[in-house]
Every structure is written in C-alpha cells, then in structure tokens.
Structure 1
C-alpha cells in the first residue's frame, strides 16, 4: 500500500465523532494537497474493508457529495446521529469541521509527513 493511501486511511480513522473533514483537507494532511479526488476514490473503495467513518468526510463546500439519494440519506442520518446538523445536504464547516490540531497526529503516525 502506498504511503499516501496509508496516511489517508489513518487520518480518516482519527476524525473525531461529531466532526467532519473535507476531502482536500485530508489530502493535504496526507501529503498531497492536490489529491482530493484520490481521497474520494480511496474512501469509496476502502471504507468497508478498513471500517472507516466514511460519513465524516464531505466536500469543500460543506456538502454531502454522494450523488446516490439513498447513500446521501445514509450519510445525513449518520452525521445527525453524531449531533451534526445537516440542512439541505450542507454542514456548517465553521461549527463542525475538525481542525488539523484536533487530530492526534504526531510524527510517528503518518509516513513521510510534510
């Protein structure tokens, strides 16, 4: 598994309950700020296998990005179960976005950190 992929998985697992992160934020922390789409693909293909809290990842506009209505509804319900307010598929990032400093990341957790 590539270092970037390992870092993405570790970061997603560290997103605190009741908080969200954006695809781009995760990509930047994982070492490739231009790889938001790659984060999306990894999340889609590895969430179940690695038991990732996939529902805590949203787009840069604070919106649920899942196009499938059933999937988007599942994400909305999972977020609301954690106390995250979702209005018209949108989350207030100022209130619910996890800051980089909220993640318990040290130099031993991520490979080849920035």
Structure 2
C-alpha cells in the first residue's frame, strides 16, 4: 500500500490505517475512530484523517470513512468539491443519506 508520509515516524501507523481502510467493503462505511481502533491506534481518529489526506494510492477507498455522526467531515484545506465527490462515490455504492445529510450507521457501518 502506497502512501506519502508527512509526519516523521508515522509510516508504520499510516500503513496500518491504509490496510484497515482497504478492507472496508463496497456499500459500507467506517468511522475515523473505528478505523483507528482496528489499526491498533485507539483514540487516534485524527491520525486517520491525516493519513487519508496524504495518501497517494488512488485505489484506496477513502470515501468510505466518515465521522462518528455518519457525516462527511468538511476539510478546511479542501480544494474543489471533495465532499461532493465523497458523497457521490458513496451513493454510487448504494449508501444512502438521510435528510440531514447523515449516513445511518446502524445500517451501513462495517462490522468486521
């Protein structure tokens, strides 16, 4: 799994995160905290976000990672329409959003 590491000493942690994200099945989502815990990094949800931000592996299904409320997390450094791209990719996989723009985690959250 490829990835660009922006923080010294984080390569192994980032690879563990990428391995978990790669396992999330089509039509399912996982939360940042869930990915962190499954990668052996409990409590490091923000690190998951950092790792996904710098990942250069286009095959990694980054769109399947959402926040604990089932929402797409807005990125303050975002160029373009990344949130729209994420939503459209998820919808193309069969994931549905409610009226508040949330994904019902009870239905779509990955349970490995």
TM-score (normalised: structure 2): 0.80
**Structure with the larger RCO, 1 or 2 (CA within 8 Å, 6+ apart):** 1
In 2: Cα distance, 1:7 partner to 1:50 partner? 17
The count of residues paired between Structure 1 and Structure 2 equals 99
Root-mean-square deviation (CA, aligned residues, Å) is 1.7
- In the other structure, the counterpart of 1:26 is 35
CA distance in 2, matches of 1:26, 1:61: 15
C-alpha displacement of 1:19 = 0.2
| Structure 1 stretches lacking a partner, 5+ long | 102-114
8 Å contact kept, 1:76–1:89: no
Answer 1 or 2: which has greater helix percent. Answer: 1
Which residue does the alignment assign to 2:107? 95
| Alpha-carbon distance in structure 2 between the residues aligned to 1:85 and 1:50 | 23
Matches within 5 A, 1:78-93: 78-87=89-98, 88-93=100-105
Of the candidates 9, 12, 37, which is equivalent to residue 21 of structure 2? 12
Which one of the candidate residues 53, 61, 77 is aligned to 2:69?
61
Which of 85, 94, 97 matches 1:74? Answer: 85
Query: What stretches of structure 2 of length at least 5 have no aligned partner?
Result: 1-9
> How many angstroms does 1:50 deviate by?
5.5
TM-score by length of 1: 0.79
Aligned to 2:5: none
